[in-house]
Amino acid sequence: MRTDLRHSLNEGMNNLMTWRNRYSKTEYPEKVVLNIFYRKYTMEFMFPDIIGCYEKNLLGKPKVKWNDFNEGFQKLKTTYGSTAVSKTQPVLLNLLTNTQRNVGNTNYGIFTPLISEAKSGNKAKLEEIEYAYLYYLLTDECVLLWGAFGGTGLTKIEAIGKMSGLIIETEEIKTYGQIEQVLGQLCAAAYLKEHYKALPPNV
């Protein structure tokens, strides 16, 4: 099975178009990046809930938390929403002052030169930021899906296989950075390669 990310991609595109109308051309690149990190920090903060979906029972077998995968996905989405408001929002700007602090596999410092070039009219850099926003949006959506699969009794590797259609060998997944890298490459990047249509330059 290949994960169907079309609704997430559409949602991401709609968000970018909305923000293009909402913010000025100089504000826009920074706001998109801010949103990337708002999401990433939220994912990091709630990662214990995600990895907790792979709890084992007393016999060492995967614990079934829900029979319906959608039920688990909705629960994780709700947790995501409440974490974003209660934990991320109050501290985000403070966290971003440390530009080298990694969240997942990236940090704000990577984006600061992109922001300033995009602000000064570099169209390619703006597209890079927009692509990064979509890539991380899709990746994080996959991470939530991966958690939801865990609650149905699948192992971590089985869930990755179900989502990507690939059988992989990997070290024990324990961190947000690890699963973000795997699903980003196998699911999000592969999906975007086929379906991404760049927005026109922001004039």
Partner 1 sequence: MSNEENLRAALHHLMGLEEHHGFFDSYQKDKEIKTSSDLEAFFNAFKAHMFNKGKWNNELEITLKIIKEQSDIIKHQNTDSPIFSVNKSRKLDDSWIIEFQKEFQQCLTGDKFVEEIKPRRYKTITENLILYGVDGVKLSEVYSKYSEFNHPFVNYSVASVLYNAKNFSNGLPILKEGIKSIASYPNHYWNNEFGIEGAAWMIGDLLYLLGNLLDKNNLRSEKIKLLKLLFLYMSRYIYMTKSNLKSVDFYSNRARIVKSNYMEFIGIFWIGVNPDIQFISDMYLAHQTGMNNGLPMFTKPFDQFYWDSMKMYRHGSHIPNSSGGYQEIEDRTWMELVRDGEIRSIMLADKLLKEFENYELNISNSTIDNIFSILFETKKDDLENYIKKISERKLNKTEK
Residues interacting with partner 1, by CB under 8 A? 6, 10, 13-14, 17-18, 20-23, 81, 85, 123, 195, 197, 199-203
**Residue number with CB closer to partner 1 (82 or 185):** 82
CB of 54 to partner 1, least distance (A): 29
Closest CA to 147 of 160, 138, 137, 165: 160
CB of 22 to partner 1, least distance (A): 5
Closest CA to 44 of 197, 179, 192: 179
CA angle 14, 129, 127 (to 5 degrees): 80
CB of 147 to partner 1, least distance (A): 21
Rounded CA separation 185/52 (Å) = 23
Please answer whether residues 129 and 32 qualify as being in contact, where contact means their C-beta atoms are separated by less than 8 angstroms. yes
**Residue number with CB closer to partner 1 (59 or 203):** 203
**Residue number with CB closer to partner 1 (98 or 120):** 120
CB of 92 to partner 1, least distance (A): 15
Rounded CA separation 48/66 (Å) = 18
| DSSP structural state of residue 88 | I
**Residue number with CB closer to partner 1 (110 or 199):** 199
**Residue number with CB closer to partner 1 (6 or 56):** 6
Amino acid occupying residue 92: L
CB of 198 to partner 1, least distance (A): 8
Query: 2 in helix, strand or coil?
Result: coil
**Residue number with CB closer to partner 1 (25 or 174):** 25
CB of 48 to partner 1, least distance (A): 23
Rounded CA separation 135/185 (Å) = 10
Give the count of beta carbons closer than 10 Å to the beta carbon of residue 59.
6
- Residue 12 tokens, joined: 């991401």
